[in-house]
């Protein structure tokens, strides 16, 4: 039996492939805003992170997220992303 291909993405935090639905997309918009894109449909350059704060922190510490999005992420945006991630995680 052939296994069904499950859409997966590499997490920029832990660098492991995960199912898309267990991840959250971080997007850089045309206005250069960086935010969590829970719908996965926002326009802009995107990166995927597991739905947990640990992977978000790893992605930030390693600068992997900034590299993926090709932008610098200011402190206040990092703060906002952490809050958004803990809200997603709590669900």
Report the interface residues with Zn ion, using CB under 5 A. Answer: 11, 13-14, 50, 55
Which CB atom, from 34 or from 56, has the smaller least distance to Zn ion? 56
DSSP 17-71: EEEGGGEEEEEE-TT--EEEETTS--SSEEEEEESSHHHHHHHHHTTHHHHHHTS
In angstroms, what is the minimal distance from the CB of 56 to Zn ion?
Answer: 9
Do 12 and 49 contact (CB within 8 A), yes or no?
yes
In angstroms, what is the minimal distance from the CB of 32 to Zn ion?
Answer: 25
In angstroms, what is the minimal distance from the CB of 4 to Zn ion?
Answer: 22
Which CB atom, from 53 or from 71, has the smaller least distance to Zn ion? 53
Which CB atom, from 11 or from 81, has the smaller least distance to Zn ion? 11
* Residue showing tokens 């809050």: 83
């Amino acid at each position: 039996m052939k296994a069904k291909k499950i859409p997966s993405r590499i997490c920029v935090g832990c660098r492991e492939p995960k199912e898309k639905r267990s991840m959250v997309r971080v997007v850089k918009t045309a206005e250069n805003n960086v935010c969590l894109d829970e719908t996965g449909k926002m326009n802009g350059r995107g990166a995927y992170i597991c739905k947990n704060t640990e992977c978000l922190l790893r992605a930030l510490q390693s600068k992997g997220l900034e590299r993926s999005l090709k932008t610098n992420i200011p402190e206040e945006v990092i703060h906002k992303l952490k809050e958004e991630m803990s809200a997603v995680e709590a669900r």
